Amino acid sequence: MLLKDKVVIVTGSTTGIGAAIATACVAQGAKVMIHGRDESRAREMVQKLGKEKSAYYLSQLSDEGIQSSLGLVEATLDHFGRVDSLINNAAKSPRNDIDSVTVEEFDWIVRLNLRSPLFLTQAVVKAFRKQGGGGTVVNIGSINAYCGEAVLLVYSMTKGALMTMTRSLGNALGKEGIRVNQLNVGWTLTENESKIKESQGFPENWESKIPPTYAPSGRLIHPEDVARHAVFWASDVSAPANAVVYELEQYPVIGRNLINEIPLDIFK
């Protein structure tokens, strides 16, 4: 088991990718602190994973202060007695562009997607040091960190900054045995993503109709795929790799050459 007897915090872990990561961590021997805002979903996760292997903490990480971040780490230490890994998964990706974004929306997204991972990491690093050093942080990023997306302006900005934070902290903390790495995740079929696409008029079973250009494997990435990679990077098996930004995508994100895939009928 890759995470035997480890204690892992997974933010935003009552649904989607976070829930899949928490489930995979427990399957690999870890005890997990579930985090979210919906108590009923948090209770369901603990019931599913087992009370001896999991607990939950409710907070809104986009709050003005940082107590929600500090409280999550404190609750984990109180319940499990230690913490070995932090997986910063919680994030939101509301649609906005240069014409529609507001100051209030910008501040909210930055607080959740960027500020909370920073101060959660600060808090767990203090715990790692008190425990004698060592530990892992895995940040869940996005391929949008590289060039963004027209309607995901602020989300993309925060993921770009998160990528720089990962490299900076990994470089700074490596000598203490603390590793900070990031998964830049590609197009993933979560429940929320499915709802968004259906609201945009996508047909039923639309995933099976995605062109190979976007999904060479014949399907999108699923939360369970991300979870397997997150477990690897949270575990000692991935050592000594540090300050790595790993692209969890089905094709090369940078420098992809699609010239030969341009359909000839566009010239007719």
Same structural domain for residues 196 and 101?
no
Give the range of the structural domain holding residue 197, as residue numbers without chain letter. Answer: 187-220
Whether 266 has a pLDDT exceeding 70, the answer reads no
Same structural domain for residues 191 and 89?
no
Same structural domain for residues 230 and 201?
no
One-letter-per-residue 3-state SS of 212-242: CCCCCCCCCECHHHHHHHHHHHHCHHHCCCC
Average pLDDT over residues 189-206: 79
Same structural domain for residues 109 and 194?
no
Among the listed ranges 64-73, 187-196, 221-230, which one has the minimum average pLDDT value? 187-196
Q: Comparing C-alpha atoms, which of 101, 192, 212 is closest to residue 155?
A: 101
**Residue 68 catalytic?**
no
Task: State the pLDDT at residue 258.
Answer: 63
Task: State the pLDDT at residue 195.
Answer: 78
Helix ranges (H only) for 60-215 are: 67-80, 103-110, 116-130, 144-147, 153-173, 191-199
Which of the following is catalytic: 31, 59, 62, 155?
155
Asked, for residue 101, whether it belongs to a domain, the answer is yes
Report the greatest alpha carbon distance in the chain. 68
**Residue 159 catalytic?**
yes
pTM: 0.93
Asked, for residue 77, whether it belongs to a domain, the answer is yes
Average pLDDT over residues 183-188: 94
Among the listed ranges 123-132, 134-143, 186-195, which one has the minimum average pLDDT value? 186-195
Among the listed ranges 61-65, 125-129, 173-177, which one has the minimum average pLDDT value? 61-65
Asked, for residue 234, whether it belongs to a domain, the answer is yes
Tell how strand 178-185 and strand 54-58 pair up: unpaired
Between 261 and 223, residue with greater pLDDT: 223
Asked, for residue 267, whether it belongs to a domain, the answer is no
Residues 6+ apart with CB under 8 A from 207: 189, 215, 219, 220
Do 106 and 92 form a contact (C-beta atoms < 8 A)?
no
Which of the following is catalytic: 31, 56, 159, 238?
159
Same structural domain for residues 106 and 193?
no
Same structural domain for residues 110 and 208?
no
Same structural domain for residues 111 and 195?
no
Domain count, the chain: 2
Same structural domain for residues 140 and 11?
yes
**Residue 155 catalytic?**
yes
Between 146 and 190, residue with greater pLDDT: 146
Same structural domain for residues 158 and 211?
no
Whether 267 has a pLDDT exceeding 70, the answer reads no
Chain position carrying tokens 């700074």: 172
Which of the following is catalytic: 142, 156, 235, 238?
142
Whether 20 has a pLDDT exceeding 70, the answer reads yes
CATH number of the domain encompassing residue 130: 3.40.50.720
Chain position carrying tokens 């990077």: 233
Each residue's pLDDT tens digit, 32-47: 999 999 999 999 999 9
Q: What is the mean pLDDT of the chain?
A: 93
Whether 17 has a pLDDT exceeding 90, the answer reads yes
Same structural domain for residues 152 and 210?
no
Chain position carrying tokens 């060039």: 147
- DSSP tally for the chain: helices H, then strands E: 9, 7
Do 30 and 36 form a contact (C-beta atoms < 8 A)?
no
Task: State the pLDDT at residue 206.
Answer: 80
